[in-house]
C-alpha cells in the first residue's frame, strides 16, 4: 500500500539526524571547509548516534538494527543537509562494512566487524575511483592477479576517503581484462598494505580527507577477498541511491538558505521574495528537492524489497545531480554578490554539489 | 512507513485502463482530433457501460468526505458503490493510462468531472448526495465547471457573473467560457458573485441543471489540441437557480471562493497525471522505434563519455516522467489521507505541465520530418499537451501557489 509517510521510528531517526546536522555539523562547516579538517569530536559524536555501525549484527558486537536502505536514505539526506564532507567521513566505514555484510564470509565478518567499537569511531573505507580522465567504472585499470596463495593488486585509486586513518580498505579490482562490471571483486587491505600518496584537493568537499593510493603489487591473501559474484552492480545501485539522498540534503540546505535570505533581503522597498522572478525560482527549487527525495525513497524501497534497482538508482542519481546544479546555482544567484562570498555557505554547497555527477561510491545504503 | 506498493485494486485498474486506452481509445484518437466537435457517441456509451459495470468512477474526494459518502451509500444504488479509499491515487493511476490512450477522449469520459469535484469539495452532504446521484447514474452524464469568464482566467476572484437573491431563488447573469464538456453537461457548477463589494467572500458556486431556463450553450471553441473534448461558452440570462443549489448552503459564508480553490487540490493531481500519460505516450512511441525496433541501447549508469546523445535524451525523458509521477502520486495520496496538499498539488501540476511540453516537443524532433506528419500521433500529443500547462491553473499560477506556501506569504505579500 503506497505511503509517503515516515514510520515513527523513521521520523525519530530523521529528527535525530537533523538535530545533529543543525546543532553540530553546521556550527563548524565553514571552518572545516577552510581548514580542510573535520573536528574529531564531530566524527565521534556522529558515531555515537549509531550512524556508522548501528546495522552491524549483534553477534559481532553491533546494535543489530536492520539494514534498511529506506532508513539509510533518510539519514543520509539529513546529514548531508548538515555538511557533505562530514557526512562522507562519518559514513565511510559503511563503504566497507555494508559490502562485507552483504557478501562477506563468516570469518571476514567476525574479523572486521569485531574491529568496530560502539564507543569509538574506527575508520574503514573503500577505493573504487581511479585517477583517470574520463574514469570509467566498466574499465577498471586496477587489476587483481592470481599469484597462487594470494592476489597481487596493481593500479592506482583516487579520492579514497579517510584512507590515512582507516584500519582496512576495500579495494575494488578486476580479474582479467575486458570491459564491464563482471570480474570485479573487493580486496581487503589492512592499513600499511599500500602507499598513500597525495591528499586530493577538490573544488568542494574540502574538509573531507581523500587520498590517491598506489597499489604496487600489494598482496591480498585469498581469504581477504570479498567475492561479489556479480554483486558489484547491486553495490553500485546501493551507492547511487545513497548519492541521490545526499544530493537531496545538500539541495535542501541551499534551497532553504536562499528562501530565508529572500525574505530578509530588502530591495526597492520590499523583500526580494515578493518578486515573482525570485519566488518562482524558489518554487521550482522546492519542487526539485521533493522530486529527488522521492526518487531516492523509491530506489531505496526497491532495494529493501530485493528488487533490481540498478536502473532506478542510476537514473535517480543522474536526475538529482542535474537538478542539484539548478538548485545550488540558483541559491547563489538569489543571494547575489553575497552568494559569491565565503561569508555565506551557499557557494560551498554549490561547490560540494558539483561532486555528485562525477563521483561513484561516496556513500552506500 | 514509506511504501510504493500498489494495492491489488490499483494494479487491476492500471492494467484495465491501459488496455482500454490501447484497444479502444488509441484507434479512434486521430479521428476525433480531425473531426472536432463530432460527438464520439459510441465511445461515450461503451465507456460508460464499462466503467459503471465495474463500479468505477473517477470522482475525487477528500478522505473525510469519502467516509461521509460511504455512510450515506447504504441507500444509494449498490451499482455505483466505489472501491473504498484512496480514490485520488487510484484516479491518478487510471487517468494516466487513459490519457496515454487519448487525453481528449479521456476528458470525454462521462462521470462527475470537474463539476463533480467542485461539488465534492464545496457541497453539503445533502448536495453531494443529490448531485452525485445525477452524475453517477445509469446513463452517461457529466458535471461541468463554469468558472472562467471572458474578462479573467487565472484571477478567479474577478468573477463578474452576478447572482441576485429573489426569494428562494438566485438570478444568475453572465458569460462563462472554456467550460470543459460544456456542450454535454447535465450539471454546471457556475461561480457567481453576490456583489462585487463583498470581494472573495461574495463569490459562490451554484449548481445549474441542464435545461434550466436562461442557461444556454453559446458556442464551441476551436482548439489547438484535446479536440475530442469540447470546450464551450455558456451564457446565463436571468437564469433562476433554487437556493438549495448554492454549494455549501447559504450560511457557510466561507466555503464559496475557498471551495473553488479546494476543488483544485483534487483536480490538479489528476490533470498532472493526465499530462504524465501524454508524456509517456510520446516517450513510448519513439522508444518503440528507436529502442525496440532500432536497437538503440540505453546504458543506464554508464560513463557519460561512452554514451551517445540519444540514450541520454531517452534517460532524461524517463527520469522526468518518473519524477513527475512521484510528485503526483504524493499529492493525490495526501488528499486521500486528508492531509493539506495545496502546495504538493501545485508542485505536481507545475512539474507535469513543463515535462509534458518538453517531452512531446522533443519526441517530434527526434522522429524527424515524419514526427511532424499527421500520419503519426506525436504531433497531436504535442498539441494536446499544451493545455496541461494552462487549464486548472497555468504553470505560473502553480508556481505562485507553491511560492506563497513555502514563503508563508499572503496574496498581498506575493502578487
Q: How far, in Å, CA of A45 to CA of B165, rounded?
A: 69
Q: What is the CATH number of the domain that holds B383?
A: 1.20.140.10
Q: What is the CATH number of the domain that holds B24?
A: 1.10.540.10
User: Cα(first)–Cα(last) distance of chain A, in Å?
Assistant: 23
In a domain, B133, yes or no: no
Domain count, chain B: 3
pLDDT over 90 (residue A219): yes
> Quick one: pLDDT at residue A60?
85
Active site residues of A: 360
Spatial contact of A345 and A53, defined as CB atoms under 8 Å apart: no
How many CB pairs below 8 Å do chains A and B form together?
147
In a domain, B306, yes or no: yes
| Same domain, residue pair B244 and B273 | no
Q: Which residues of A touch B84 (CB under 8 A)?
A: none
Q: Which residues of B touch A279 (CB under 8 A)?
A: 399-400, 403-404, 407, 409, 414
Q: Which residues of A touch B327 (CB under 8 A)?
A: 287, 290-291, 294
Phi-psi region of B55 (alpha: psi -120 to 50; beta: other; left: phi over 0): left
> Quick one: pLDDT at residue B255?
60
| Same domain, residue pair B398 and B277 | yes
With CA atoms as reference, report the closest residue to B346 among B322, B320, B360, B327. Answer: B327
Looking at the DSSP bridge assignments, the partners of residue A199 are: A211
| Same domain, residue pair B14 and B149 | no
Q: Which residues of B touch A138 (CB under 8 A)?
A: 302-303, 306
Q: How far, in Å, CA of B8 to CA of B342, rounded?
A: 28
CB atoms within 10 A of CB A78: 25
CB contact under 8 A, B323 and A273: no
Give B302→chain A minimum CA distance, Å. 8
In a domain, B132, yes or no: no
CB contact under 8 A, B1 and A5: yes
Domain hosting B363: range is 258-407
CB contact under 8 A, A2 and B333: yes
Q: How far, in Å, CA of B330 to CA of B195, rounded?
A: 38
CB contact under 8 A, B300 and A311: yes
Q: What is the ipTM of this complex?
A: 0.96
In a domain, B128, yes or no: no
With CA atoms as reference, report the closest residue to B332 among B348, B321, B354, B318. Answer: B348
CB contact under 8 A, A315 and B337: no
User: Cα(first)–Cα(last) distance of chain B, in Å?
Assistant: 38
In a domain, B122, yes or no: no
Q: Which residues of A touch B2 (CB under 8 A)?
A: 3-7, 10, 70, 297, 301
| Same domain, residue pair B318 and B357 | yes
Q: Which of residues B63, B94, B111 is at a domain's end?
A: B111
Q: Using CB atoms, which residue from A137, A290, A295 is nearest to B322?
A: A295
Q: Which residues of B touch A312 (CB under 8 A)?
A: 322
Largest CA distance in chain B: 76
Q: How far, in Å, CA of B351 to CA of B325, rounded?
A: 9
Q: Which residues of A touch B344 (CB under 8 A)?
A: 290
Residue of A nearest to B90 (CA): A2
> Quick one: pLDDT at residue A58?
86
| Same domain, residue pair B171 and B249 | yes
In a domain, B139, yes or no: no
> Quick one: pLDDT at residue B55?
60
Spatial contact of A279 and B307, defined as CB atoms under 8 Å apart: no
Active site residues of B: 392
In a domain, B138, yes or no: no
| Same domain, residue pair B107 and B202 | no
| Same domain, residue pair B397 and B265 | yes
Mean predicted confidence (pLDDT) in A189-213: 97
Spatial contact of B80 and B72, defined as CB atoms under 8 Å apart: no
Per-residue cell: B102 = 487519448
| Same domain, residue pair B93 and B227 | no
Residue of B nearest to A181 (CA): B302
Q: How far, in Å, CA of B76 to CA of B80, rounded?
A: 8
> Quick one: pLDDT at residue B253?
56
CB contact under 8 A, A6 and B337: no
CB atoms within 10 A of CB A308: 12
Q: Which residues of A touch B86 (CB under 8 A)?
A: 2
> Quick one: pLDDT at residue B310?
97
Residue of B nearest to A71 (CA): B2
Q: What is the CATH number of the domain that holds B208?
A: 2.40.110.10
Q: How far is CA B315 from CA A16, B290, B291, in A?
A: 36, 13, 12
Phi-psi region of A205 (alpha: psi -120 to 50; beta: other; left: phi over 0): left
Per-residue cell: B16 = 484495465
Residue of A nearest to B404 (CA): A279
Q: Using CB atoms, which residue from A287, A305, A315 is nearest to B351?
A: A287
CB contact under 8 A, A287 and B327: yes
> Quick one: pLDDT at residue B83?
38
Q: Which residues make Cβ contacts (< 8 Å) with residue A88, sequence separation at least 6?
A: A161, A205, A208, A362, A363
Q: Which residues make Cβ contacts (< 8 Å) with residue A114, sequence separation at least 6?
A: A60, A61
Q: Using CB atoms, which residue from B2, B306, B347 is nearest to A287?
A: B347
Q: Using CB atoms, which residue from B86, B305, B326 is nearest to A134?
A: B305
Give B199→chain A minimum CA distance, Å. 23
Residue of A nearest to B337 (CA): A3
With CA atoms as reference, report the closest residue to B90 among B59, B55, B48, B128. Answer: B59
Helices (H) and strands (E) in chain B, counts: 14, 7
Residue written as grid cell 447504504? B74
| Same domain, residue pair B269 and B388 | yes
In a domain, B75, yes or no: yes
Residue of A nearest to B318 (CA): A315
Strands annotated E in B128-263? 143-146, 162-166, 169-180, 187-193, 203-209, 215-220, 231-242
Q: Which of residues B229, B255, B281 is at a domain's end?
A: B255
| Same domain, residue pair B228 and B322 | no
Per-residue cell: B236 = 446565463
Portion of chain A with pLDDT greater than 70, in percent: 100
Q: Would you give per-residue pLDDT tens digits along chain B (415 residues)?
A: 999 999 999 999 999 999 999 999 999 999 999 999 999 999 999 999 887 776 655 544 444 444 444 444 444 444 344 434 688 999 999 999 999 999 999 999 988 888 998 998 889 999 999 999 998 878 899 999 999 999 998 888 899 999 999 999 999 999 999 999 998 999 999 999 999 998 888 999 999 999 999 999 999 999 999 999 999 999 999 999 999 999 988 875 556 677 777 889 999 999 999 999 999 999 999 999 999 999 999 999 999 999 999 999 999 999 999 999 999 999 999 999 999 999 999 999 999 999 999 999 999 999 999 999 999 999 999 999 999 999 999 999 999 999 999 999 999 999 9
Strands annotated E in chain A? 123-127, 143-146, 150-161, 166-174, 184-190, 195-199, 210-221, 225-226, 266-267, 270-271
Give A322→chain B minimum CA distance, Å. 10
Q: Which of residues B68, B95, B111 is at a domain's end?
A: B111
Interface test with A, best of B301, B339, B348, B408 (most A CBs within 10 A): B301
| Same domain, residue pair B230 and B299 | no
Give A290→chain B minimum CA distance, Å. 7
Range of weakest confidence among A244-253, A277-286, B149-158, B166-175: B149-158
Domains along the sequence of chain A with CATH: 8-121 (1.10.540.10), 125-226 (2.40.110.10), 232-358 (1.20.140.10)
Report CA dihedral (B149, B154, B158, B160) to the nearest 10 degrees.
10
Q: How far, in Å, CA of B285 to CA of B277, rounded?
A: 12
| Same domain, residue pair B92 and B37 | yes
Amino acid at each position: 500500500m503506497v505511503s509517503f509517510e515516515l514510520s515513527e521510528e523513521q521520523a525519530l531517526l530523521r529528527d535525530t539526524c537533523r538535530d545533529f546536522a543543525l546543532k553540530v555539523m553546521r556550527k563548524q562547516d565553514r571552518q572545516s571547509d577552510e581548514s580542510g579538517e573535520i573536528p574529531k569530536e564531530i566524527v565521534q559524536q556522529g558515531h555515537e548516534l549509531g550512524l556508522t555501525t548501528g546495522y552491524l549484527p549483534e553477534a559481532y558486537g553491533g546494535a543489530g538494527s536492520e539494514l534498511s536502505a529506506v532508513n539509510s536514505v533518510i539519514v543520509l539526506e539529513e546529514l548531508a543537509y548538515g555538511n557533505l564532507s562530514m557526512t562522507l567521513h562519518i559514513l565511510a566505514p559503511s563503504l566497507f562494512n555494508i559490502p562485507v555484510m552483504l557478501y562477506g564470509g563468516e570469518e571476514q565478518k567476525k574479523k572486521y566487524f569485531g574491529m568496530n567499537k560502539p564507543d569509538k569511531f574506527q575508520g574503514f573505507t573503500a577505493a573504487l575511483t581511479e585517477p583517470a580522465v574520463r574514469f570509467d567504472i566498466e574499465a577498471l585499470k586496477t587489476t587483481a592477479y592470481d599469484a597462487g596463495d594470494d592476489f597481487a593488486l596493481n593500479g592506482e585509486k583516487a579520492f579514497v576517503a579517510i584512507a590515512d586513518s582507516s584500519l582496512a580498505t576495500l579495494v575494488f579490482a578486476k580479474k582479467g581484462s575486458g570491459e564491464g562490471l563482471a570480474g570485479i571483486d573487493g580486496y581487503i587491505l589492512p592499513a600499511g598494505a599500500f602507499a598513500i600518496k597525495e591528499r586530493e584537493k577538490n573544488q568542494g568537499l574540502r574538509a573531507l580527507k581523500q587520498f590517491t593510493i598506489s597499489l604496487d603489487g600489494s598482496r591480498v591473501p585469498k581469504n581477504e577477498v570479498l567475492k561479489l559474484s556479480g554483486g558489484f552492480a547491486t553495490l553500485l545501485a546501493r551507492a547511487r541511491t545513497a548519492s541521490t539522498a545526499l544530493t537531496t540534503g545538500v539541495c535542501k540546505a541551499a534551497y532553504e538558505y536562499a528562501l530565508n535570505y529572500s525574505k530578509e533581503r530588502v530591495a526597492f522597498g520590499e523583500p526580494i521574495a515578493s518578486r515573482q522572478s525570485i519566488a518562482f525560482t524558489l518554487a521550482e527549487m522546492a519542487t526539485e528537492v521533493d522530486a529527488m527525495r522521492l526518487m531516492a525513497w523509491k530506489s531505496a524501497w526497491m532495494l529493501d524489497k530485493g528488487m533490481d534497482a540498478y536502473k532506478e538508482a542510476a537514473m535517480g542519481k543522474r536526475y538529482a545531480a542535474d537538478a542539484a546544479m539548478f538548485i545550488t546555482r540558483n541559491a547563489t544567484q538569489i543571494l547575489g554578490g553575497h552568494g559569491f562570498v565565503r561569508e555565506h555557505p551557499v557557494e560551498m554547497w554549490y561547490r560540494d554539489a558539483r561532486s555528485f555527477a562525477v563521483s561513484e561510491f561516496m556513500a552506500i545504503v | 512507513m514509506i511504501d510504493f506498493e500498489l494495492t491489488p485494486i490499483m494494479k487491476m485498474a492500471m492494467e484495465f485502463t491501459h488496455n482500454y486506452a490501447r484497444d479502444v481509445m488509441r484507434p479512434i484518437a486521430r479521428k476525433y482530433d480531425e473531426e472536432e466537435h463530432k460527438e464520439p457517441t459510441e465511445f461515450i456509451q461503451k465507456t460508460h457501460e464499462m466503467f459503471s459495470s465495474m463500479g468505477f468512477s473517477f470522482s475525487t474526494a477528500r478522505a473525510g468526505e469519502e467516509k461521509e459518502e460511504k455512510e450515506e451509500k447504504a441507500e444509494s444504488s449498490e451499482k455505483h458503490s466505489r472501491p473504498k479509499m484512496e480514490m485520488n491515487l487510484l484516479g491518478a493511476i487510471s487517468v494516466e493510462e487513459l490519457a496515454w490512450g487519448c487525453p481528449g477522449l479521456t476528458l470525454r469520459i462521462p462521470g462527475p468531472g470537474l463539476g463533480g469535484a467542485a461539488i465534492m469539495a464545496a457541497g453539503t452532504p445533502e448536495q453531494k448526495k443529490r448531485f452525485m446521484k445525477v452524475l453517477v447514474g445509469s446513463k452517461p452524464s457529466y458535471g461541468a465547471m463554469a468558472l472562467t469568464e471572458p474578462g479573467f482566467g487565472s484571477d478567479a476572484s474577478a468573477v463578474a457573473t452576478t447572482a441576485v437573491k429573489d426569494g428562494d431563488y438566485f438570478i444568475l447573469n453572465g458569460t462563462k467560457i472554456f467550460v470543459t464538456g460544456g456542450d454535454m453537461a447535465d450539471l454546471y457548477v457556475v461561480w457567481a458573485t453576490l456583489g462585487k463589494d463583498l470581494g472573495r467572500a461574495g463569490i459562490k458556486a451554484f449548481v445549474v441543471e441542464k435545461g434550466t431556463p436562461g442557461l444556454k450553450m453559446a458556442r464551441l471553441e476551436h482548439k489547438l489540441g484535446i479536440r475530442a473534448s469540447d470546450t464551450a461558452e455558456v451564457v446565463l440570462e436571468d437564469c433562476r437557480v433554487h437556493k438549495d443549489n448554492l454549494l455549501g448552503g447559504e450560511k457557510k459564508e466561507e466555503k464559496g471562493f475557498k471551495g473553488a480553490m479546494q476543488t483544485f487540490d483534487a483536480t490538479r493531481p489528476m490533470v498532472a497525471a493526465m499530462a504524465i500519460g501524454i508524456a509517456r505516450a510520446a516517450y513510448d512511441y519513439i522508444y518503440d522505434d528507436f529502442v525496440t525496433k532500432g536497437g538503440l541501447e540505453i546504458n543506464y549508469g554508464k560513463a557519460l563519455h561512452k554514451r551517445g546523445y540519444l540514450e541520454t535524451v531517452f534517460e532524461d525523458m524517463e527520469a522526468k516522467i518518473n519524477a513527475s509521477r512521484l510528485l503526483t502520486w504524493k499529492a493525490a495520496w495526501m488528499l486521500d489521507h486528508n492531509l493539506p496538499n495545496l502546495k504538493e498539488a501545485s508542485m505536481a501540476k507545475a512539474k507535469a505541465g513543463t515535462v509534458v511540453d518538453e517531452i512531446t516537443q522533443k519526441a517530434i524532433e527526434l522522429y524527424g520530418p515524419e514526427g511532424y506528419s499527421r500520419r503519426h500521433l506525436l504531433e497531436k500529443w504535442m498539441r494536446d499537451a499544451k493545455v496541461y500547462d494552462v487549464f486548472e491553473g497555468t504553470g505560473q499560477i502553480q508556481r505562485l501557489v507553491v511560492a506563497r506556501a513555502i514563503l508563508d506569504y499572503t496574496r498581498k505579500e506575493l502578487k
